[in-house]
């Protein structure tokens, strides 16, 4: 429980520092950004310990869910916000592309995990006898995983293509670095929408279970 409280307090500090880093002049906001990065590391460490160990004792599933959501978002925001402190030169465009790719991968990884959760049940072998299950289990699983991989790959490819086209539109219209700022806001908004929707949907399904 203490780790949850520590993570929650650190999350509040990190969000405050992130706001300072985003809205104040870059020359004085970089220290706030560094503080946000440090706080984000603490939040992620607390989330890992709370989720993967039983050392903290009883932790309500809602607390784990939302602490992990905030850890994910803070990590993404910290990475994307780095682009605000890059100088406008040729090298900055390389960093903008790198940060865009990292942010896109984090968003697509989230889509992949949600697809695994949502579609895995639909691809389990059904209607087989015990003998058939023992004999053909590997074939059934392999054949359905191939189709599952195709569907998930199509979703991720469509998402990647859409984000690249959107960034290209921003770049053509506004140039650099405004195009990076706009695509960063888009990636962050989509990720926030997905995670908060997931948290709201799952909240009613969770029950406290002692670990």
- Residues 71-93 have a mean pLDDT of 84
List C-alpha distances in Å: 51 to 4, 87, 94: 11, 39, 36
20 within a domain of the structure (yes/no) = yes
| Residue 1: pLDDT band with limits 50, 70, 90 | low
Answer whether residue 36 shows pLDDT above 70: yes
The residue whose two tokens read 């406008």 is: 88
Chain centroid offset of residue 149 CA: 20
Answer whether residue 35 shows pLDDT above 50: yes
182 within a domain of the structure (yes/no) = no
Find the helix packing angle between 178-203 and 90-119, rounded to 10°: 20
- Residues 166-190 have a mean pLDDT of 91
Could you check whether the bond before residue 20 is cis, i.e. omega within 30 degrees of 0? no
- Residue 32's pLDDT is 92
183 within a domain of the structure (yes/no) = no
- Residue 176's pLDDT is 79
37 within a domain of the structure (yes/no) = yes
Structure tokens at 42: 């603490």
What DSSP assignment string belongs to 152-190? HHHHHHHHHHHHHHHHHHHHHHH-TTHHHHHHHHHHHHH
- Residues 97-107 have a mean pLDDT of 90
Q: At a CB cut-off of 8 Å and minimum separation 6, what does 161 contact?
A: none
pLDDT tens, residue by residue, 52-63 = 776 655 566 777
Are 49 and 63 in contact by the 8 Å Cβ rule? The answer is no
> What rounded mean pLDDT belongs to the chain?
79
Q: Domain range holding 75?
A: 1-85
If you count them, how many residues does the chain have?
211
- Residues 1-26 have a mean pLDDT of 84
In whole angstroms, what is the distance from residue 16 CA to residue 32 CA?
9
Q: At a CB cut-off of 8 Å and minimum separation 6, what does 129 contact?
A: none
Answer whether residue 173 shows pLDDT above 80: yes
Find the helix packing angle between 61-81 and 26-52, rounded to 10°: 150
| Residue 211: pLDDT band with limits 50, 70, 90 | very low
Say which range, 61-65, 100-104, 135-139, has the weakest mean pLDDT.
135-139
- Residues 115-127 have a mean pLDDT of 60
68 within a domain of the structure (yes/no) = yes
Answer whether residue 155 shows pLDDT above 90: no
Are 7 and 42 in contact by the 8 Å Cβ rule? The answer is yes
The number of domains in the chain is 1
What percent of the chain has pLDDT above 90? 28
- Residue 110's pLDDT is 85
- Residue 209's pLDDT is 47
Answer whether residue 127 shows pLDDT above 80: no
199 within a domain of the structure (yes/no) = no
């Amino acid at each position: 429980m203490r780790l949850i409280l520590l993570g929650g307090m650190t999350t509040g500090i990190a969000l405050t520092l992130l706001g300072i880093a985003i809205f104040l002049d870059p020359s004085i906001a970089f220290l706030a950004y560094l503080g946000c990065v440090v706080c984000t590391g603490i939040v992620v460490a607390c989330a890992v310990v709370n989720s993967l160990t039983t050392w903290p004792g009883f932790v309500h599933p809602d607390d784990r869910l939302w602490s992990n959501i905030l850890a994910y978002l803070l990590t993404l925001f910290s990475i994307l916000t780095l682009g605000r402190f890059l100088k406008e030169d040729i090298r900055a465009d390389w960093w903008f592309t790198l940060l865009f790719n990292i942010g896109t991968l984090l968003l697509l990884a989230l889509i992949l995990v949600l697809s695994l959760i949502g579609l895995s049940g639909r691809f389990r072998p059904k209607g087989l006898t015990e003998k058939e299950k023992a004999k053909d289990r590997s074939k059934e699983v392999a054949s359905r995983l191939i189709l599952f991989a195709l569907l998930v790959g199509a979703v991720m490819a469509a998402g990647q293509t859409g984000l690249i086209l959107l960034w290209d539109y921003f770049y053509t219209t506004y140039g650099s670095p405004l195009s990076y700022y706009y695509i960063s806001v888009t990636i962050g908004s989509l990720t926030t929408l997905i995670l908060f929707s997931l948290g709201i949907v799952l909240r009613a399904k969770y029950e406290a279970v002692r670990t």
